[in-house]
Amino acid sequence: MPQLSRRRALTAAAALAAAAGAAPVVASVTAGNANAAPAEATTPDTTGHHHGHTSPAPFDEVYKGRRIQGRPVAGGGHQHHGGGYAVFVDGAELHVMRNADGTWISVVSHYDPVPTPRAAARAAVDELQGAQLVPFPAN
């Protein structure tokens, strides 16, 4: 069967994002959704576009002995499904994604939404039990 390599999939998606001339557009939080993320400190969207949402604030902490960081990033060469937000565990990028209702998931906890990217980073540290992340475009 024709196989889609992860690199090709990522490259195609990045090209689409670049063609759109902006980071992926993120929908506003659905009002009245029981699963919607609680309000958290935010910074203005780095893309300068009006998506009806703001990007979560950066964070940087040591959690269970590992450094977790999150920060808004401009869209472009990388695919940031966090709507222009990147998360790192000990410097290695953790693929995160923002759901339509404002919750977050990561590639190591993909079926279990949590309220914030920091919560996704902490859930990843819990799941990893000390293991190192593999950089996600690798394969």
Partner 1 sequence: MTVRKNQASLTTDEKRRFVAALLELKRSGRYDEFVTTHNAFILGDTDNGERTGHRSPSFLPWHRRFLLEFERALQSVDASVALPYWDWTVDRSVRSSLWGPDFLGGNGRARDGRVSDGPFSGASGDWPINVRVDGRTFLRRSLGSAVRELPTRAEVDSVLAMATYDMAPWNSASDGFRNHLEGWRGVNLHNRVHVWVGGQMATGVSPNDPVFWLHHAFIDKLWAEWQRRHPGSGYVPAAGTPNVVDLNEPMKPWNDMAPADLLDHTAHYTFDTDA
Can you give the binding site for partner 1, defined by CB under 8 A?
A: 1-6, 8-10, 12-13, 16-17, 24-27, 30, 33, 35, 79, 81, 95, 97-101, 107-113, 127-129, 131-134, 136, 139
Residue with tokens 């009002």: 31
**C-beta closer to partner 1: residue 38 or 111:** 111
For the chain, what's the residue count? Answer: 139
At position 53, the amino acid (one-letter code) is H
Question: Closest approach of Cβ 115 to partner 1, in Å?
Answer: 15
Question: Closest approach of Cβ 35 to partner 1, in Å?
Answer: 8
Please, are residues 13 and 79 in contact by the beta-carbon 8 Å criterion? yes
Question: Closest approach of Cβ 98 to partner 1, in Å?
Answer: 8
At position 59, the amino acid (one-letter code) is F
Q: Which of 9, 133, 118 is nearest to 55 (CA)?
A: 118
